[in-house]
Chains A and B, each alone.
Chain A
Amino acid sequence: MNFIIFLGVVLVLAILYMIFRVSNLVSIAKGGVVDEKASSANKINASLFIVFMVGSLGWFFWYSFAFFKNYTLPVASEHGKHTDTLFWITMAVTVVAFTIISIIMFVFIYQYQYREGQKAKYFPDNHYLELAWTIIPAIVLAVLIFTGLRAWNDITAPASKEAEVVEVIGQQFAWTVRYPGVKDKQLGTVNYKLIDNFGNEFGLDLTDKNSFDDFKSLELHLPVDKEILLKIRAKDVLHSVFLPHFRVKMDAVPGMPTQFKFKATKTTQQMRDYLGNPNFNYEMACTEVCGRGHFSMKMSVIVEDEESYERWKASQEAWLKQNPGYLKNVPNALKEAAMIKAGMQKDPGSSVAEVRE
């Protein structure tokens, strides 16, 4: 079978070669070298450029409008709406420029194709023209730069103190999330040297009392309409947090914690209703190549209203409660507080715990 395919290929190539040879010999027999520039080839190529331009611009506009819904992602964050607007403004400006320049260029190509006896215009420079097309793009770009700069400054401004802090950790090849816990609302200190294979995947430092009620999740739960501050870190190699619907992207860098603040504007349910797709889910992906499983680093994202978000948080078990063996790492003086905070021991009365702390 393979041999027959091989033979077929050889045959086709041989035929193509023969055609090439014959056409070559015929053209030589016809009177040697023809003046190529005056030949029909020049006209055909000039026309093909016009056909190409019309065809491809037509395809471009048709596809862009007809399939608009397919290639645009609905936006679900406050700054995302802003950057989307900037994106489409830039799109409008550039598409107008692109279309005009393309048409002019291809029309010139067709219009000024070689003609017997035609002489090209000796036109080496024109300062007014050059000045015009230096200044016009400069002004247009300046406008785009300043709108972009303002958006960028807003997005990267420090988060407010009330922001909901969530820590996202990248590792080969999964995301994990750590919440600061409902009792102290502070993330406990971590140290990569404390990471082990037996349960302390965060490298939680249990001498820090803020770590007692931290809890782990394999889903990213977020409240709607509340500022969220993602604290991002990586354990092994570079990863990158990508929340496409929220227009959020930030690298996770080992040794250098990063962050991104944003505000979700649509709960999962609202987005399902909006799209008419009851199975819709927000997703988080990795966009910095991180190895074999790079393409499978997915985490589900659930955006809910504040009330159910708080309810969900309250229902989660603290990490320490799930890994009671690590109590031994807690300094003796803090043991009881730790057990209370982690929900391993009934709170005998908040006043007692307060004193102990």
Chain B
Amino acid sequence: MATTDIHTHQDVHHHDDHDEHEHHKTNFWRSYIFCEDHKVIAKQFLITGIFWALLGGILSVIFRLQLGFPEMNLEWLKPVLGEWITAEGKLDPEFYLALVTMHGTIMVFFVLTAGLSGTFSNFLIPLQVGARDMASGFMNMLSYWFFFLSSVVMFTSLFLETGPAAGGWTIYPPLSALPQAIKGSGLGMTLWLVAMALFIISSLLGGINYITTIINLRTRGMSFTRMPLTIWAFFFTAIIGVLSFPVLFAAALLLIFDRSFGTSFYLSDIYIGGEALAHDGGSPILFQHLFWFLGHPEVYIVLLPALGLSSEIIATNSRKPIFGYKAMIGSMLFIAILSFIVWAHHMFVTGMNPFLGSIFMLLTLIIAVPSAVKIFNYVTTLWKGNIRFTPAMMFSIGLVSFFLTGGITGIFLGNSAIDIQLHDTYFVVAHFHLVMGSASFFGMMAGVYHWFPKMFGRMMDSKLGYIHFWLTFAGVYLVFFPMHYIGIAGFPRRYYSWTNFETFSGFTDLNMLVSVAAIITLSSQFIFLFNFFYSIFRGRVAPANPWNSTTLEWTTPLHPGHGNWVGEIPSVYRWPYDYSKPGAKEDYIPQHIPYSETPESNLPHENELIKLEASNADGAIVVEGGKH
């Protein structure tokens, strides 16, 4: 299924033979490893993402042990961590910083960007817009393998003698530029930068593909206003990524120059390790501007796909159209635009010009409006619904709850006057873990539970799903809610221990609670892992459309081959949210059902469209073929 396969849209009628043909011809390597099928690539992203999520979670539990139980003897971790456990059985303070750094990097980039966007953009875009595959299957394959390479490099850095990068996931120079400042800024940082460069390549290859596919390969009738909100979300995400990741690449490149070639982009006036460095005239603030020019859009790169997935899942399981479809698109568009002009709210107290601070405060608080609109729309979608609590639905509800709880604290942090006190305290940690970390993670989980039947043709066990949800939902709140109090009390983040300070000597009880909750939350993820892998092989065989959903992916065969549909790609006649339409026989009408077949439920203006449907019926295939 090399390049020939991509061109199957040229003549859809021959697809049947082609499918047969393909199953016999391709070998293991081409079907599962270097595969160009978007569905396989999505699964590759998912499995790699799960691996990273587990690792990132374990790292966080190790440093939570230190924070919750500072007296604990960690001798028993010696077989794994070796020299990073000191002779007294304590975690090395530098390794603590490395853990925090790698936890952040892994979770933000490898799990919630590649694992979430990579999985669901790849899986759902062709299936939901009605395309045989991505615009370029080859680039898509490259995208995964660059990610894989990046993963290997990042993973390797964990095992260096000097440890992985340790200057925080934001890698602010000069700390990240000077190996004499911290051990992790040696080879660990070099590998971090190499891994991120590869990661950015992967993300760009993916993003360009997503955008192209959505614009060009929509099936007949799939106008932009008939696209499911998932696709809209992936579309905006990809655009944000394509525009902002290159800036991170530039930032990283300049940092590489400063580190290895003696330039002074970020360095100036430094005396360290007994000598004054020759670097002169650079500005560490420049790096922060460049970093957050990606870093803030990155928040939405992580969040928007999760919001898209949950919009779809909440509508399906409430059996209602999503409330305010156009307002949802509008708010995502608005968020996407604003996300580029709020970055300096991460920098209110860096010594940046205070006037800039006022501008960014204004812009930042404006972004709360479209976010609020989204929450209200979710709640209204639930109103007078007929809600089925599938695990996917529950995780989506969890997402909305986290988005609300975590979003509201953003109003404090976006206010520069209030941010003076809260900046870099646990209040910030609580805020972004809820609104970005947990909300996106829940979106990803919701997506896995919801689309598992399409991915593997089998159902996941829903009882295990419920247990997984409740333990995780309660666990996440127990981990991050108490951090608000700790933050209001002024506890700074990235502290190995607070006992040096009288001011920060309290809250041993809350810190212990947080750590215990973190351990429980991580442990309950193994229920998911068991459920996931067990169900791939032994789960109940899925019905064709298990959730009675309207979107196109459920019209494919149970195990869609490369090319997705046997025969012609279905045409689309209506928007994706015809749930519980008055007069309809069932409580859902899939997108590929023409209005002419549903006269009983058509709205007046929809009856007008019937004529158009008829006139389009034949010509379009020719047009479709002719296009390529």
Binding site for B on A (CB under 8 A): 20, 23-24, 33, 36-37, 41-42, 45-46, 48-49, 52, 56, 60, 63-64, 67, 70-73, 80, 82-83, 86-87, 90-91, 93-94, 97-98, 101-102, 104-105, 108-109, 112-115, 118-126, 129-130, 133-134, 137-138, 141, 144-145, 148-149, 151-153, 155-156, 171-172, 192-193, 195, 197, 203, 232, 235-238, 240, 242, 244-245, 247-251, 253-256, 258, 279-281, 283, 285-296, 298
Contact = CB atoms under 8 A, between A and B. Distances in A.
A236 B271 contact: yes
A256 B580 contact: no
Given A129-B380, A145-B365, A237-B178, A298 B500 contact: yes
Interface of B: 93-94, 97, 167-168, 172, 174-175, 178, 181-182, 267-272, 274, 276, 281-285, 318-327, 349-351, 354, 357-358, 361-362, 365-366, 368-369, 372-373, 375-380, 382-390, 394, 397, 400-401, 404-405, 408-409, 411-412, 415-418, 420-421, 423-425, 461-464, 466, 470, 473-474, 477, 481, 485-486, 488-490, 492-498, 500-504, 506-507, 540, 577, 579-582, 587
Contacts of A72: 488-489
Contact of B323 (A91, A115, A123, A156): A123
B539 to A, nearest CB: 10
11 contacts: A45-B466, A87-B421, A102-B401, A112-B386, A124-B324, A152-B417, A235-B272, A237-B270, A280-B502, A295-B496, A298-B500
A235 B501 contact: no
Contact of A120 (B386, B416, B493, B498): B386
Contacts of B504: 285
Contacts of B354: 152-153, 156
A63 B607 CA distance: 58
Contacts of A193: 276
Given A120-B580, A238-B174, A294-B494, A244 B421 contact: yes
Contacts of A20: 461, 464
B181 A172 contact: yes
A70 B473 CA distance: 27
B462 A90 contact: no
Contacts of A145: 361-362, 365, 415
A106 to B, nearest CB: 8
A298 B501 contact: yes
Nearest to A138: B369
B424 A247 contact: no
A288 B172 contact: yes
Contact of B463 (A23, A64, A70): A23
Nearest to A44: B466
A118 B388 CA distance: 12
A52 B387 contact: no
Nearest to A33: B540
B369 A291 contact: no
Contacts of B373: 130, 133-134, 137
A156 B349 CA distance: 10
A36 B579 contact: no
Nearest to A119: B580
B410 to A, nearest CB: 10
Nearest to B76: A2
A190 to B, nearest CB: 10
Contacts of A293: 93
Given A33-B540, A73-B489, A144-B411, A121 B320 contact: yes
Contact of B498 (A67, A125, A250, A295): A295
A67 to B, nearest CB: 7
Contacts of A112: 318, 382-387
A289 B494 contact: yes
